[in-house]
Structure formats: C-alpha cells, structure tokens
Amino acid sequence: MPDIRPTVGTTLVLNATYEPLCVVSVRRAAILVLSAKAVCVTDGDGVLHSIRSQLPVPSVVRLIRYVRVPYRTHVVLSRRAIFARDGSRCAYCRGPAETIDHVLPRSRGGAHVWDNVVAACAKCNHTKGDRTLAELGWRLHAAPSAPKGTAWRVLGHRAADPRWTGWLGLPEVA
Ligand SMILES: [Zn+2]
C-alpha cells in the first residue's frame, strides 16, 4: 500500500467508459493511480509525495477496468440537499433560507417528499404555520421536484470542482 500523507480535497472518478462514477478523497484516488487501477485524466494543484514516488494531485481519474455500478436512481432527501436544490433561498420571498417548510403542512396530510418540501426563511415558515398556500394566497416561484441528472447523482449536495464541470455536463465556469 503506497504511503500517501493525508491530504485534503476530493477527486472525481470516471468509469473506464469516461462516465462519471463518484467522488473520493484525493488520498483514495492517489492509491488507485499508484496501484495501477486508475489513470489520472486531469491534474489538480500540487504534488503528492510517497516513499518511492511523487504524483501530481489527481483532480479527475479514470478506472482502467470497467465497473458495473447499480446507480441510486433518486437523490436522498436531506436538509443539505434541499438547500442545495433551492440555492439556499426561501421558496416564498427569495430571502436567505433558514428552515425547511412542508408546502402542504404535515398536519394537513402533506408528505415529506421532494415535491412537498422547500427551503424557507424563518419568517415565512412562521407566518405560514399550518395553512395552505391557497388559504394564504401565496404562490411558489417554482414547483418543487426531485433533483435529477448526472451531477446530482455523482455529487449530491457537494459543489463541483471547476475542473469537473465538463465531465458532469455542467456549464463551464468562466
Ligand atoms: Zn421567506
């Protein structure tokens, strides 16, 4: 096992077919490269040192052998994921979000599912209470739905390294 000093940061792992698979620690990615299980596709910043060799920090690596991975077809509903989907903005007033609100309140039979949860500020959440949007005359800026796509499958609520955007089908950052 190569001796890689602990490093911070993460690496995007591509399957042998160049399809994005997952995100791992830089250390884990370096071990894949040094054990000839993966090749580096894009270098990151800096160099890793092991006892016998040194290696540029891998930002994107590709597995040598294809691995068949059963994909999770849905994104797990969590507070962090809801905030990421909604850009940390309140669904009602677009102010900074602080809480999670059930659009149809749970007390009125609303479910804890992607289509019924939004990020909200404390004020809107408090004002809304156990009432429905129709009762308040409020409207949503957009209908909430489960996030989809390669980037969500691979990254979840994590932010993408700018070097990964091309692989994840995200717009390039200028
Ligand atoms: Zn609000």
Q: Is the pLDDT of residue 152 over 90?
A: no
Ligand 1 centroid distance, CA of 16 (Å)? 45
Ligand 1 centroid distance, CA of 32 (Å)? 46
Residue 144 lies in a domain: no
Structural domain range at position 103: 79-136
Q: Is the pLDDT of residue 1 over 80?
A: no
Q: Is the pLDDT of residue 154 over 80?
A: yes
Residue 146 lies in a domain: no
Ligand 1 centroid distance, CA of 95 (Å)? 5
Of the listed ranges 18-32, 35-49, 73-87, the least confidently predicted one is 73-87
What distance in Å separates the CA atoms of residue 39 and residue 166, rounded to the nearest whole number? Answer: 18
**Do 29 and 47 fall within a single domain?**
yes
How many domains does the structure of the chain reveal? Answer: 2
Q: What is the CATH number of the domain that holds 103?
A: 1.10.30.50
Ligand 1 centroid distance, CA of 4 (Å)? 47
What integer is the mean pLDDT of 114-121?
A: 97
What distance in Å separates the CA atoms of residue 108 and residue 124, rounded to the nearest whole number? Answer: 18
What integer is the mean pLDDT of 108-133?
A: 96
What is the amino acid identity at position 173? V
Ligand 1 centroid distance, CA of 92 (Å)? 5
**Do 61 and 86 fall within a single domain?**
no
**Do 106 and 65 fall within a single domain?**
no
* Structure tokens that stand for 144 in this block: 């909430």
Of the listed ranges 85-99, 108-122, 125-139, 141-155, the least confidently predicted one is 141-155
User: Does the pTM exceed 0.75?
Assistant: no
The answer to whether the beta carbons of residues 43 and 59 sit under 8 Å apart is yes
What distance in Å separates the CA atoms of residue 89 and residue 39, rounded to the nearest whole number? Answer: 39
- Three-state secondary structure call for residue 26: helix
**Do 63 and 84 fall within a single domain?**
no
Residue 148 lies in a domain: no
Distances 70 to 21, 73, 153 between C-alpha atoms, Å: 10, 9, 12
Residue 151 lies in a domain: no
